[in-house]
Structure 1
Amino acid sequence: MSLRQIEPKQRGFLIVNSHPDGAAQSVRRMWDAIPERADGRRPVALVLGHSAGYGLATLLTGLRRHGIRGIGVAFEAPDNGRRTATAGWYRTAAVAELAAAGGHDIRFVNTDAFSAEAKSRVCDLLDEHYGPVDHLVYSLAAPRRTDPATGIVHHSVIKPLGAAYEAPALDFSGAEPQVARARIEPGTEEETRATEAVMGGDDWSLWIGALAARGLLAEKVTTVALTYVGSEVTAPVYRQGTIGSAKEHLERTARDLNSSTPLKEKDGRAFTVVAGAAVTQASSAIPSIALYTAFLRTVLGEDGFRTTAEQAADLWDQLEGHTPLVLDEQGRIRLDGWELDDRVQERVRTLWADPERGLGESRPGADWFMEQVRELYGWGVGHVAYDRPVETDVPWPGR
C-alpha cells in the first residue's frame, strides 16, 4: 500500500508523474462515450500498445462495440515509492475493471513487445485461452527498440531530412502559451535507418511470423498498423522526415505481408490505418505539432474534431464489415478525412501564416491542447479529488 498526496511534476509538455484516479476517470469517460453494439460475433483480438492513444481507443471500442476477446500488450512501469506508476499502468487497471464489470474476457501483459520472449508469452496465452487471432492491431510507439536477432539497440529521432527545419511552435514554459521558433538539424542516414527499425514494420512482421508459427492466425485474419499522414504544414518534420520514412517502411510492410505466405494461406489482410490528429504522449513530443493541433481544434471546434474513440469506432465497423472499407489509392484505410478537408486545411494555413496572430485567435485551442496533455497523465480530469491522498500502488490486472 502506498497512500500519499501527489501533485503534478510538470515542465512544458513533460509530466513525470501520474494520478491513478485521474487516469482511471479518463478511461471511464471514454468508455461511457462509446455507443454499445449488440454483435453476435466475439472476435479474438491482440492489441499491441493498448495503454495509450489510438491503441487504448481501439481496445475500448473493440470491447464495448464488438465484444472482442483476447490480449492487450503494453510496457508500463509500476509505482516504485519515489515515482508513481505510469499513466498507462493505471489506465490498464481501469480498463480491466470496466471489462470485468461488462463480462468481457480480456487479459493484459506488461512486457517489451519488441522482444522474442513477449511473442512467446503472448502466444502461450492465446493458445491456452482464446485460440487463433481474428484481428492483430499494431499500435506501438516507443523511443527505442532492441533487435531480437542482433541485440542492437536502435533509437528513433524526430528530424527533417535534407535540410534543417524551422517553424513556429507552441511554448508552455511561461504563465501563458506563446509562439516560439523550433529549429531541428537534419537527420543522418544512420538515424533514418534506426528510426525505421523502431517505428517501421520489422516488428509487425515478426509478430505475424510468431503467430503463424504457432497456428494462431484465424481464417480471414486482419492485421492493421496505425499511422499518420497529416497536413502539409507539418510535413517537413513529420511525413518528409525520419518519422515519415519509418511510416513509409510500415506501409511497405503491409504490402509485403499481403503477399506473404502466412496471410495468403489464411486469406488474410494487412492494412496501415491513417488516423487523424490527436493529442497523445507521442505526438506532443513532435515540434510544431502542438501549435498545428491547437489551430486545427480552433477551426473544427469541439464537435468537428474527432476523438480517438470516434475514429476507432469507424475502424472497427470497417474491419467487422458493418461499413465499407475507406481505402486510398495506396490501399491504406483512411480515418482522417475530417482533418484533411480542403476548407479546413485552408483555414489552418491562414492561421499558420501569421502564428502570433493565429495564437491570439486560437487561445482556446492552445489551452485545450495543454488540458489534453495533462489528462494523458491523469491530471485536470473532472470529478477527481486531487486534494486528497490516493493509493498509487495499484496492482497490474490479473497479478
Structure 2
Amino acid sequence: MSLREIKPGNRGYLYVNSHPTGCRAEVDRLWQRTPAPVGDRPGPVALVIGSSAGYGLAATLAGLRTHRMRGLGIAFEAAATERRTASAGWYRTARTAELAAEAGTDFTFLNGDAFSDAVKDEAAARIAARFGTIDLLIYSVAAPRRTDPLTGAVHHSVIKPLGADYRAKTLVFEDGTPRLGELHLPAADEAERDATVQVMGGADWQLWIDALLSKGLLADGFRTVALSYVGSDITAPVYRAGTIGAAKQHLEDTARAIDTRLGGAGRAGTVVAGAAVTQASTAIPSIALYTSILHRVTGTGWRTTVDQAADLWGRLTGDGEPDTDDLGRIRLDAWEMAPEVQAAVRTSWEQVDADTVATAADTGWFHDQVGRLYGWNVPGVDYAAAAETDVPWPAPPSAGI
C-alpha cells in the first residue's frame, strides 16, 4: 500500500504526475458514454496496439462494452515509484481491465514497447495460446522515438513544417491563465522528416502484420486499421503539410501495401479521426488554439473520442464495406470538416486577439480537458483525500494467456 495525497505537478500542458482516482473516474465516465452492448455473444478477437490513451483507449472501451471484444491490448506505461505516481495510462489500463472483467469479456493487457520484436513475439504467443487467430488489429501508436528492430537505429520524431518556417498564433497556459502567444518554428531538414516518418509512419504497423501473418495468426476476413488525422487548412503547415503529415502519408501508403499483401483474405486501411484533446495532440503547436475555437463553434456537435470510436466499430462490424473517401480512408471527421464549421473556425482564428481569446475560444474547457488526461479536474473526485498510487498492472488470466 502506498497512500499519498497528490498535488498536480504541471506547467501549462505538461503534467509530471497523475491521479489514480481521477484516472479511474475518467475511464468510468468514458465507459458510460459508450453505447450499451449489442448482444451477449462473444465478440471479435482484436489486438489493440496503443490501448491506454487517446483513440486507442476509446476504441478499446467501445470494443469491450458495446461489442464484447476479446483479445489483447498493448501499451507502454510506467509503474509508480517511491517518488512518482504511475503514468496516467497505467491507471487507465488497470481500470479498463476491471471493467472488461465485470463485463465478462476475455481481454487482457501487455505492457511493453510495441516497436520491439520481444513484444511482438510475446503478443503472438498469447494470441496463439488463447485464441488461435485474431479478427481485427487496431494500430493507434503515438511516440516521440522508435528503435528500429531491424537496424538498432534510434529515430526521434519532430513537429515542424516542411519547406518554410511556420509562424502562427498559439495558446499559452504557462501561468495558469490562457493567453495568446506567437509561435515560430523553423522548417525541418530532410533527416528530421525521415526520422519522423520512421517513428510515426507505417513501418512498425507493417512489421506487426508481417509477424502475425508469418505465424498464421490472422483469421479469414481479418481487418486492420490505423488511426490518422487530416485536419484543417488552418493547421496544415504544421500538421498535414509538415513532418507529421509526411508520416501520415507513409501510414496511408503502408495501408495500401498491407491491403495488397493480404489479398482477398483480409483488408487494411486508415481511419481519419476528428480533432480531440489527447496527450499526443497537446504537443502539436497551434492545435490548442484551433481545438478551443473548434469546440466553441461546434458546441453540442462536438464528437468525443468515444463517440468516434463507437462510430468506427459500427462501420467495422456492420454489413458490407464501411464508407470511405476517394483515397480509401474511413472518415470520422465529417463533423469537424463541414464547410460551415471550417468557415466559422477560420473567421474566429483570423480575428482572435489577446483581448478576445477567452470568448472566441473555449480555453478553459481545453485546459480542463488536458488535466483530465492525467486524472485531474475530474468531477466528483476528492483530491484532498489520500490515493493509492501503487496499483498493479492487470494480471493475465490463469489459463491460456
Query: TM-score w.r.t. structure 2 length?
Result: 0.96
For the 8 Å contact 1:168–1:355, the answer to whether it is kept is no
CA distance in 2, matches of 1:397, 1:173: 36
For the 8 Å contact 1:281–1:376, the answer to whether it is kept is yes
For the 8 Å contact 1:147–1:153, the answer to whether it is kept is yes
Cα distance change of structure 1 residues 327 and 358 upon mapping to structure 2, 3 Å threshold: farther
Cα distance change of structure 1 residues 300 and 118 upon mapping to structure 2, 3 Å threshold: same
CA distance in 2, matches of 1:253, 1:18: 35
CA distance in 2, matches of 1:376, 1:193: 30
Task: Give the aligned partner of residue 342 of structure 1.
Answer: 339
Paired residue for 1:293, among 273, 291, 295? 291
1:119-170 residue CA offsets vs partner (Å, 9 max, x unmatched): 0000000011112110000001100000001000000000000110000000
Task: Give the aligned partner of residue 315 of structure 1.
Answer: 312
Cα displacement (A) at 1:385: 1.2
Task: Give the aligned partner of residue 99 of structure 1.
Answer: 100
Please say if 1:395 is aligned against 2:372.
Answer: no
1:224-281 residue CA offsets vs partner (Å, 9 max, x unmatched): 0000000000000000000000000000000111111xx12x6200010000000000
CA distance in 1, matches of 2:42, 2:72: 17
CA distance in 2, matches of 1:99, 1:27: 12
Give matches, 1:75-94, under 5 Å: 75-94=76-95
For the 8 Å contact 1:18–1:85, the answer to whether it is kept is yes
Task: Give the aligned partner of residue 10 of structure 2.
Answer: 10
Give matches, 1:351-366, under 5 Å: 351-356=348-353, 359-363=357-361, 365-366=362-363
CA distance in 1, matches of 2:392, 2:182: 43
Task: Give the aligned partner of residue 279 of structure 2.
Answer: 281
Cα displacement (A) at 1:176: 2.1
The one-letter amino acid of 2:177's match is E
Please say if 1:142 is aligned against 2:140.
Answer: no
Give matches, 1:28-43, under 5 Å: 28-39=28-39, 40=41, 42-43=43-44
Please say if 1:200 is aligned against 2:210.
Answer: no
The one-letter amino acid of 2:149's match is P
1:350-372 residue CA offsets vs partner (Å, 9 max, x unmatched): 01102216524235x11000100
Task: Give the aligned partner of residue 330 of structure 1.
Answer: 327
CA distance in 1, matches of 2:200, 2:293: 27
Task: Give the aligned partner of residue 399 of structure 2.
Answer: none
RMSD (Å) for aligned C-alpha atoms: 1.1
Unaligned runs of 5+ in 1: none
Q: How many residues align?
A: 394
Moved more, 266-275 or 13-22: 266-275
The one-letter amino acid of 2:33's match is A
**4+ residue segments displaced more than 3 Å:** none
Task: Give the aligned partner of residue 23 of structure 1.
Answer: 23
The one-letter amino acid of 2:392's match is P
SS of the residue 1:135 aligns to? strand
CA distance in 2, matches of 1:222, 1:118: 21
1:160-199 residue CA offsets vs partner (Å, 9 max, x unmatched): 0011000000011124211100110000100000000000
CA distance in 1, matches of 2:226, 2:95: 24
For the 8 Å contact 1:295–1:358, the answer to whether it is kept is no
SS of the residue 1:259 aligns to? helix
1:66-100 residue CA offsets vs partner (Å, 9 max, x unmatched): 11100000000000111100000000000011111
For the 8 Å contact 1:318–1:325, the answer to whether it is kept is yes
Unaligned runs of 5+ in 2: 397-401
Cα displacement (A) at 1:383: 1.2
Give matches, 1:174-323, under 5 Å: 174-260=175-261, 263-264=262-263, 267-301=265-299, 303-322=300-319
CA distance in 2, matches of 1:51, 1:322: 29
Task: Give the aligned partner of residue 71 of structure 1.
Answer: 72
The one-letter amino acid of 2:340's match is R
Task: Give the aligned partner of residue 169 of structure 1.
Answer: 170
1:43-86 residue CA offsets vs partner (Å, 9 max, x unmatched): 00000000000000000000111111000000000001111000
The one-letter amino acid of 2:285's match is P
Query: TM-score w.r.t. structure 1 length?
Result: 0.97
